[in-house]
């Protein structure tokens, strides 16, 4: 897979590099980008993947948890096994290349279902990149990763786990620290199997009967913002190195109340006010604002429920020319001779030690999302994009 694989040379100073599930997990954890969720009940999963209907889709989660009703669960399990078997057969017949597949995950409902699926699928799990573990706690998490480890060894597979933090224990203030520290211990025990830590803000909001508006962000809900801050504090430390992904954006139709947050200037300078209007009509300015807030808080990647969100998220993860030069300067001058220096654009101070981890993250993102030319920004990537889509893939993450 490759982000923006068809873009003109004029967009990127450094083009995005292709990646597969066999990429180093240190890079792969940054590459997921906009992760599209769809219910396991969707009848067109195989054809959608085989035809590469959404060219920019790089990571996909087939959901057996909240997106599937209890009554339909058994049928959906059988359908998922059938779908994975069909994809694996296409792969075996060389009608489908793993290099062309999006990073493919299954979100299971509980430990016993996970055990059943891994047994039923066996070697067919070769087409998967991994599994998503909902309502992750230390106790359940250890069981999930034990089964994952056993599956990998028995079938000689490359697979990863992505826990979702969305339980009462993590949200409630009196139990949060104990829960997060217990989760951290489990994740360290299986560190080489953890691709990404995800945040289930919809479940968190549901506990308090809250739902964010489309013209606000998850950070405007104080009880969720405080919980996210603690998750990043405990799991996002330099010595741990876990990549934390942002919660789902759940809107794709416009019933605006507040003033739009998307500035006119980046679009008017390129004669692209129609593109801005399309973004506003599809309420994607709220998504963009939340992605920028995610980035500012050290969060990389986003759960989405609509293909029109893919390019918007990825455009915001591509690195600016200025950021890239600053990051390279910090890394290249880490020789013990300098402690601080003026940035390339002479508009900020770059301190080598405090800014080193930031610089390393920027370089990893640049590898998979690319670096804009100096005069280019995210608006340039959205000018010719198809704002809007033709699929609704529900999720309750």
State how far the Cα of 209 lies from the Cα of 60, in Å rounded to an integer.
Answer: 28
What confidence score (pLDDT) does residue 388 get?
Answer: 40
Euclidean distance between CA atoms 248 and 351, whole angstroms: 34
Angle value at C-alpha 361, between 358 and 362, nearest 5 degrees:
85
Inter-residue long-range contacts of 210-216, CB under 8 Å, 24+ positions, other chains counted: 213/257, 213/258, 214/251, 214/254, 214/255, 214/256, 214/283, 214/286, 215/256, 215/257, 215/258, 215/260, 215/261, 215/283, 215/286, 216/258, 216/286
- Specify the pLDDT at position 338: 81
Beta strands in the chain (DSSP E): 12-14, 34-39, 59-63, 103-107, 130-133, 160-165, 197-199, 244-249, 302-304, 340-342, 349-351, 371-372
Question: Would you call 165 helix, strand, or coil by DSSP?
Answer: strand
Tell me, what's the pLDDT at 218? 95
Report pLDDT for 271: 55
Both tokens of 227, joined, read: 């919980």
Residue 250 tokens, joined: 């759940």
Quick one: pLDDT at residue 276?
A: 54
Task: Output the pLDDT for position 100.
Answer: 85
Query: How many beta carbons lie within 10 A of that of residue 222, not counting itself?
Result: 8
Cα 16 from Cα 3, distance rounded (Å): 6
Which residues are CB-neighbours of 202 under 8 A, at least 6 positions away? Answer: 166, 247, 248, 250, 395, 396, 397
CA geometry: angle at 20 spanning 156 and 31, to 5°?
A: 120
Residue 349 pLDDT = 85
pLDDT at 277: 53
Question: Tokens 């217990």 — which residue?
Answer: 182
Q: Residue 265 contacts by C-beta under 8 Å, 6 or more apart in sequence?
A: none
pLDDT score of 83: 97
Would you write out the chain's pLDDT as a tens digit for each of its 397 residues? 899 877 777 899 999 999 999 999 999 999 999 999 999 999 999 999 999 888 899 999 999 998 899 999 999 999 999 999 999 999 999 999 988 899 999 999 999 999 999 999 999 999 999 999 999 999 999 999 999 999 999 999 999 999 999 999 999 999 999 999 999 999 999 999 999 999 999 999 999 999 988 778 999 999 999 999 999 999 999 889 899 999 998 886 554 444 555 556 665 655 555 555 555 555 677 888 899 999 999 999 999 988 888 988 999 999 999 999 999 999 998 887 787 877 777 788 888 899 999 999 999 999 999 999 998 888 888 775 554 443 334 444 4
CA distance 100 to 71: 34
């Amino acid at each position: 897979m490759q982000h923006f694989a068809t873009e003109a040379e004029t967009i990127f100073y450094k083009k995005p590099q292709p990646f597969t599930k066999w990429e180093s997990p240190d890079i792969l954890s940054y590459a997921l980008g906009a992760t599209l969720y769809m219910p396991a009940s969707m009848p067109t999963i195989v054809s959608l993947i085989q035809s590469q209907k959404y060219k920019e889709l790089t990571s996909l989660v087939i959901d057996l948890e909240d997106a599937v009703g209890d009554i339909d669960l058994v049928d959906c399990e059988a359908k998922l096994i059938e779908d994975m078997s069909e994809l694996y057969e296409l792969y075996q017949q060389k009608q489908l290349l793993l290099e062309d597949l999006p990073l493919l995950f299954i979100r299971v409902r509980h430990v016993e279902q996970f055990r059943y699926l891994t047994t039923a699928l066996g070697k067919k799990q070769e087409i998967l990149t991994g599994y998503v573990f909902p309502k992750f706690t230390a106790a359940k998490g250890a069981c999930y990763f034990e089964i994952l480890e056993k599956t990998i060894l028995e079938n000689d597979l490359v697979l990863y786990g992505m826990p979702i933090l969305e339980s009462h224990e993590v949200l409630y203030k009196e139990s949060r620290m104990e829960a997060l520290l217990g989760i951290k211990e489990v994740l360290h025990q299986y560190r080489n199997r953890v691709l990404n830590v995800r945040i289930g803000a919809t479940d968190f909001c549901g506990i308090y009967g809250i739902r964010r508006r489309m013209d606000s962000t998850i950070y405007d809900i104080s009880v969720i913002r405080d919980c996210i801050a603690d998750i990043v504090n405990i799991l996002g430390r330099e010595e741990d190195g876990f990549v934390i992904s942002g919660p789902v954006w759940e809107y794709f139709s416009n019933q605006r109340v507040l003033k739009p947050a998307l500035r006119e200037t980046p679009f008017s300078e390129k004669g692209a006010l129609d593109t801005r209007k399309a973004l506003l009509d599809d309420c994607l300015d709220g998504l963009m604002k939340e992605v920028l807030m995610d980035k500012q808080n050290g969060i990389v990647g986003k759960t989405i429920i609509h293909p029109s969100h893919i390019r918007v998220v990825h455009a915001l993860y591509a690195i600016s020319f200025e950021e890239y030069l600053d990051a390279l300067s910090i890394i290249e001058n880490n020789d013990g001779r300098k402690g601080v220096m003026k940035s390339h654009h002479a508009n900020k101070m770059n301190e080598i030690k405090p800014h080193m981890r930031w610089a390393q993250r920027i370089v990893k993102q640049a590898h998979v999302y690319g670096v804009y030319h100096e005069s280019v920004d995210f608006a340039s990537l959205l000018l010719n994009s198809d704002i809007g889509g033709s699929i609704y893939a529900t999720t309750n993450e």
